[in-house]
Amino acid sequence: MAMTFCWMCPIVPELPEVETVARSIARLVGRRIVSAEFTCARVLRGNADQASADLAGRRIRGIERRGKFIVIKLDGGYSLVVHLGMTGKLLLTGTPARHTHAIFNLDRGVLRYEDPRQFGKIEVGFGLPARVEELGPEPLEVTLAEFGARLKRRKARIKSVLLDQHFIRGVGNIYADEALFRAGIHPLAIGARLRPERVKKLHAAVVEVLTQAIEKGGSSISDYVDAEGRRGFFQVEHRVYRRTGEPCVVCGAPIRRTLVAQRGTHFCVKCQKR
């Protein structure tokens, strides 16, 4: 029997998943970081000793999400920024294992960072890193007018534009495909050439798919960081993502797969027009 979190349906952390993780560790606000250990040079940006020194003794003042980044705000204007990459997890339970790359010892409890592929990144410093400040607007906050104005400047394929975190922050490969399908837009369409009516549809589709996904994740937030971290997380039903060859849920035509920006891209030839 297929498992809900098998290889064929991986939970890649995009905006809704990161939001779920951020909420699941919100309870840490108010606690103090006693000490921190970093054991993977690839995952930590900067010097491990410096990062540990910067963190030691600081109290957690707030936890928020910016796109796919988790920002843990600390005393004195410092911040602990975590990006989960492809396979990163923040865990409040369990014991250090092979892929544990950071351990944050709190005045009560322990927070661990685990990441088999080491695509994730942890950054400690004063204020926010430039890469976080320079992100585009939140997709759930950006107005249709700004969304349209930004899109008008983009001559790339719409799928690439959606993946660009400078355009809007938080959309990844799965939700880009799903939003384009819901908007009836072909992934190879040129961003700037989309007519206002279609831009409006796309904006609404992005909001819809992300909102639904957050709601699904939100129903099992307390479970998320348990055990393998994925149990109980129900993804939004994919209508095109990884459904190559299967019938379109609207017209029945087989879903096609191609590459855009070196990413697997799934769409319906009949329902999605350039």
* Sequence-ordered strand ranges (E) for the chain: 33-38, 44-45, 60-66, 69-74, 78-83, 89-91, 100-106, 110-114, 121-126, 256-260, 263-267
Cβ proximity to DNA, 58 vs 154, nearer residue: 154
Site string for DNA, 85-104 (x = CB under 7 A): xx-----------xx-----
Mention every residue, 6+ apart, whose C-beta is less than 8 A from residue 169.
15, 66, 67, 68, 135, 136, 137, 138, 139
**Listed ranges 47-55, 169-177, 193-201, 231-239: which one lies at the site for DNA (CB under 7 A):** 169-177
Residues 140, 121: Cα–Cα separation, whole Å: 24
14 as an active site residue: the answer is yes
**Listed ranges 5-13, 28-36, 100-108, 209-217: which one lies at the site for DNA (CB under 7 A):** 5-13
Report the site for DNA in 216-235 (rule: CB under 7 A).
Answer: none
Do 36 and 46 touch, CB atoms closer than 8 A?
no
How many CB atoms are closer than 10 A to CB 3?
10
Let me know how many helices (H) and strands (E) the chain has, helices first: 8, 11
**Listed ranges 7-15, 28-36, 194-202, 221-229: which one lies at the site for DNA (CB under 7 A):** 7-15
How many CB atoms are closer than 10 A to CB 50?
12
59 as an active site residue: the answer is no
Do 24 and 37 touch, CB atoms closer than 8 A?
no
Cβ proximity to DNA, 52 vs 173, nearer residue: 173
Least distance (Å) between residue 107 CB and DNA: 31
16: tokens are 């809704």
Answer left, alpha or beta for residue 57, where phi above 0 means left and psi between -120 and 50 means alpha. Answer: left
From 65, 66, 68, 159, active-site residue: 68
Residue 140 in the binding site for DNA (CB under 7 A): no
In the set 16, 172, 217, 229, which binds DNA (CB under 7 A)? 172
Residue 165 in the binding site for DNA (CB under 7 A): yes
**Listed ranges 52-60, 162-170, 202-210, 245-253: which one lies at the site for DNA (CB under 7 A):** 162-170
Contact residues: DNA, CB under 7 A: 6-7, 12-14, 42, 67-68, 83, 85-86, 98-99, 116-119, 121, 131, 153-157, 160-161, 163-166, 172-174, 191, 261-264
Catalytic residue ranges:
13-14, 68, 263
